[in-house]
């Protein structure tokens, strides 16, 4: 039995966890609440198809279920979920041996449409072009730089949240973001594109 969205919305994340431990079907509430956000994140970090991203997400949520008692309530649940999804994504990438500098982004219509979400003030063509360029430059960055830029600027996380997701000190997050920004600018300058980051 899958719990309806209406019922799920009546519970906080922590209440859903408690309910899930009593009745597993409530776990679908947690999945649905984070599904789109996490799929978007997986596709930003890894160059994968929607189906592959869904597989990664499913594996991640099986791990989340398995380690539900390991959740430290001093963390934000979203940070913990991001951490597991991130680790699963990296692990899948390693298995495919297709991550890192050699990646080339495939620019297709769905990617354009997805990245245009929530952006205003720019025409759709301009926005798509800009987002595609951002994605292409990101794809040329080493993974440690790419992941901090995605978490900071696309997922809008604080340094503390990034620290919790990547399990690195906040100071290291700051340093890495600075270096990543520099690397991003260098690549964008080589491609005659100007970005404000």
Partner 1 sequence: MKSSEKLIQAIKEQDVKPVPKWHFTLKNSLLWTGFLIAVFLGALAFSVVLFAIQQTDFNIISHLTHSRLELFLGLLPFVWIVFLVVFVGIAFFSIRHSKKGYKFTVAKLAGFSAALSILLGTLYFLAGGASQLDKVFAANVGLYESIQEKKMKLWSMPEEGYLSGEIVNVSPDFFQLKDFKNKVWEITFEEAFIPPVVTLERGEKVKVIGKMLSRDAFSADEIRPWGGAGKRMQNRGQNR
| 3-state secondary structure labels for all residues of 23-88 | CHHHHHHHHHHHHHHHHHHHHHHCCCCHHHHHHHHHHHHHHHHHCHHHCCCCCCHHHHHHHHHHHH
Q: How far is the CB of 49 from partner 1 (least distance, A)?
A: 15
Among 14, 18, 32, 96, binds partner 1 (CB under 8 A): 32
CA atoms within 13 A on the CB side of 183: 19
Which x/- pattern, by CB under 8 A, does the window 36-75 give for partner 1? ------------------x--xx--xx--xxxxxx-x---
Among 35, 52, 114, 129, binds partner 1 (CB under 8 A): 35
State how far the Cα of 191 lies from the Cα of 187, in Å rounded to an integer.
6
Tokens 């100007």 map to which residue?
A: 194
The residue range among 113-121, 131-139, 151-159, 169-177 that interacts with partner 1, by the rule CB under 8 A, is: 169-177
2 scored as a contact of partner 1 (CB under 8 A): yes
Interface with partner 1 (CB under 8 A):
2, 21, 24-25, 27-28, 31-32, 35, 54, 57-58, 61-62, 65-70, 72, 163, 167-172
């Amino acid at each position: 039995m899958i719990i309806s969205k209406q019922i799920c919305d009546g519970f906080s994340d922590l209440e859903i966890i408690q309910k899930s431990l009593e009745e597993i079907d409530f776990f679908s509430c947690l999945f649905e609440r984070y599904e789109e956000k996490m799929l978007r994140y997986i596709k930003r970090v890894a160059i994968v198809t929607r189906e592959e991203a869904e597989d990664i997400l499913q594996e991640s949520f099986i791990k989340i279920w398995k380690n539900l008692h390991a959740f430290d309530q001093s963390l934000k649940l979203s940070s913990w979920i991001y951490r597991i999804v991130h680790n699963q994504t990296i692990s899948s990438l390693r298995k495919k041996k297709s991550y890192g500098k050699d990646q080339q982004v495939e620019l297709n219509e769905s990617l354009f449409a997805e990245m245009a979400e929530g952006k205003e003030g720019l025409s759709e063509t301009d926005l798509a072009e800009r987002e595609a360029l951002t994605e292409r430059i990101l794809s040329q960055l080493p993974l440690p730089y790419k992941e901090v830029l995605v978490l900071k600027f696309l997922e809008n996380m604080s340094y503390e949240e990034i620290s919790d997701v990547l399990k690195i000190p906040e100071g290291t997050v700051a340093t890495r973001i600075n270096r990543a920004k520099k690397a991003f600018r260098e690549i964008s300058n080589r491609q005659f594109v100007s970005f404000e980051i």
